[in-house]
Amino acid sequence: MESLWELVSSKSWGTVFKKDPKYNIFGLAQCYQDVNADDCELCFKTSQEKLQQCIPARSGRVYLDQCFHRFDHYNFYNEGVDPKYDHVTCGSPTGDSNDTYMSQDFQSKLDHVILNVEEAALRKNGYGTTEVKGGVVTVYALAQCWKTIDKQACDKCLTDAGMRLRECGPAAEGRALFTGCYMRYSTNRFFDHGSGTVEKKGFTDWVTLGVALSGATFLLLAVIGAFVSYKKLSRTKEEVTGLDALPATGLKNSLNFKYEMLEKATKNFNESMKLGQGGAGSVFKGVLPNAEAVAVKRLFFNTRQWVDQFFNEVNLISGIQHKNLVRLLGCSIEGPESLLVYEYVPNRSLDQILFSKDKRYILSWSQRFNIICGTAEGLAYLHGGSGVKILHRDIKASNILLDEHLSPKIADFGLARCVASDKSHVSTAIAGTLGYMAPEYLVRGQLTEKADVYGFGVLVLEIATGRKNSVFSEGSSSILYSVWKQYKADHITQSIDPGLEGKFEEREASNVLLVGLLCTQPSVAIRPSMHDVLQMLTNAHCEIPCPKQPPFLNASVLSPAHTPDDSFAMDSSALDQPKTGSESSTHKAIGH
C-alpha cells in the first residue's frame, strides 16, 4: 500500500499487480483531475476503508466523488463497459418536475450538458467539466475515464454512461458508475476548474462487492484514473477550413483578412482587449493599421459544427446591410483558427447595461423604446426586407449591441437560417437559448419567423421590466407570467422597471407591454409578424389586439406525441447564475 500511495501522491493514479499462490491480483486507483493533493489523500484513505467491506470477495470497486478504487483477480485495465455491473444512481426530482415547461427546460439542458461533457472529456485526455445555464437552474456535469483504458474504450464508456444518465431526468442530480468511467451531473456546482474541489462536506460513495477472494487482498488496493486520446472531434485545419471551402460568393478577396494582422490588432488576443464571450467564441477589440476599430470574433473550436456555423454566418450577412444589423467586415480562415471581423460597436451588448448591478446608469424609457423599435426594424428587415427571409434563431439581450447613440444592432448570426419564401416552416434541430425559444419550436422543431417574434417578445418584456427572463429567484414566476397577471388585473404598467421611478409615458409603456405579451402567445397564429409589430409600436393609430393566452401555459402547444419527458438538443446556452444549496453525504453498497 505504501508503494501504491507513492504512485497516487506523485501522479494522482497508479496500478499494482501481485502474483499470489491462489490468485493473480490486479488493482488500480485514481483521483479525479480537479482534486488537489490533500483531498486526493483523504479520498484514497477513505476508499481503502470502504473497499475492505468487499473482503473476502474476489473483486471490489469503490466509487467516490473524488476518486475510484478497484481490485480484481484478472487484468481489467482496458475494460470500458460491463452491462452486468455498470449502473446509474439518480437523486430526487427537481422542484419544477410537475411543470411541463420547466420539466422540458431541465431535460433539454440535461441532454445538452451530458453531450458537452462527453466531448470535453474526449478532447482533454479523459477528463471534462461543463455547465449549461439559463432557465430555472444551471446544470453542471463532470466526466472522468480511467487512465488505463484506451480512447475507444473511453469513448464507448462515456457514450453509454451519458445515455443511461439522461434517464435520471427530472432528478436534480445523477451519477453513472461504469467500469471504465465516472460521470455525474447536478444542479449544484460540485467541481472547480482549478485545483481542489468545491465539494468539501464529505464523500458520496458506492461500494461494489465481488465474489470470494483471500483475506490479504485489501493490501493491493489501487487508485485508478483516466486516460484517453483525443476523439476525432475536429478534422485538421486543411480538411475543414480554407478559402476553397467558401462557396462561390465572391467573398474570397473582399472579405479576407490576414490572421497575423488581426492577431497584432488584438494584441495577441490579450484579455485587456476582450469585449465578451458567447457560446461560439470570444470577441476582442482590435485596431487595424489604418486606426479603424473592429470587433474580432475568435471561434473556440475547429470542429465541423463550428465551421458550418462560421461559413453560415459569413454567407448570410455579408450581403445585407441595415442600420440595425451588425455589419460583417470580413473573416480570416487561413491561420490556426477561424476569425470573424465586425464593425466595432462601442457600448457593447444590451444585457451588460440593462441587467447590470451597477445602478448608476439606468436606461431611460425613451432609450428603451428606441432600442425596442430599432430591434424590431432590424428583425423585420431580416424577415424579408432584404429580398430573402433570414431567421435569426437566437434573439436575446446579449445579441443586441448598442452603438455610441445607444441605437441597437442585432448580432451573432451563427445559428441563422435562410428560408424559402414559399415554405410555411422548416423542421430543424433545435438551437437557441432557453427562455427565448418559442413553444412550437422547442416541442416540434418547427421553425418559422414567428419563432424570432417570440424571442423578440421576451426581449421586449425584459427591456420594459428591467428583469431577465432566464434569471429569477426560486419560488417566483417568470417575467412573462408576472406581466400577464398584471395585464389581467388591469394594472399592466405596474410591471415597468421601478428604477425608472415612474418616468415613462403611460400609454406608450402599456402598448409596449401588450406587444410583448402578444409576441409571446403560445399559438403561432396569434403572434403578429415583425412588420405588424413595427406598426403597433410606431403608429399611434394602429390597434393592438388583446393577448388571449397566458404565456407558455396553453397545453395546445404540446402535440399528443410529446410528453414532459421529451428532450431537445441545444446548440447554445443562456446566461444564468447557479442555484445554491448543500449536498448531503450518502453511502450505498451494491452487491454482485
- Residue 351 CB contacts under 8 Å (≥ 6 apart), including other chains: 396, 397, 398, 400, 468, 575
Say how many residues make up the chain.
592
- Residue 565 CB contacts under 8 Å (≥ 6 apart), including other chains: 103, 107, 169
What is the C-alpha to C-alpha distance for residues 305 and 332, in angstroms, rounded to an integer?
A: 17
What is the C-alpha to C-alpha distance for residues 438 and 249, in angstroms, rounded to an integer?
A: 33
* AA letter at 60: G
Q: Order of strands across the sheet with 293-299?
A: 274-277, 281-287, 293-299, 339-343, 328-332
Give the three cell numbers for residue 240: 475543414
Name the one residue in this structure whose C-alpha cell is 446566461.
575
Active site residues: 394
Residue 565: Cβ within 10 Å count: 11
Question: Degrees (nearest 5) of the Cα angle 271, 273, 279?
Answer: 70
**4 neighbors 30 (Cβ within 8 angstroms):** no
Give the three cell numbers for residue 118: 462527453
Query: What are the angstrom distances between the C-alpha of 112 and each of 167, 454, 567?
Result: 13, 22, 9
What is the C-alpha to C-alpha distance for residues 26 and 76, in angstroms, rounded to an integer?
A: 8
Residue 538 φ then ψ, to 5°: -110, -15
Strand pairing partners for 63? 68, 206
What is the C-alpha to C-alpha distance for residues 514 and 520, in angstroms, rounded to an integer?
A: 10
Helical pair 479-488 and 506-519, crossing angle rounded to 10 deg? 120
Query: What are the angstrom distances between the C-alpha of 124 and each of 54, 139, 227?
Result: 33, 20, 9
Distance of CA 551 to the CA centre of its chain: 24
**94 neighbors 552 (Cβ within 8 angstroms):** no
**143 neighbors 120 (Cβ within 8 angstroms):** yes
Dihedral sign, Cα of residue 397, residue 362, residue 493, residue 472: positive
* AA letter at 216: A
Strand pairing partners for 296? 284, 341
**Whole-angstrom Cα Rg for the chain:** 27
**327 neighbors 321 (Cβ within 8 angstroms):** yes
Q: For residue 25, how many C-alpha atoms fall within 13 Å in the half-sphere facing its CB?
A: 23
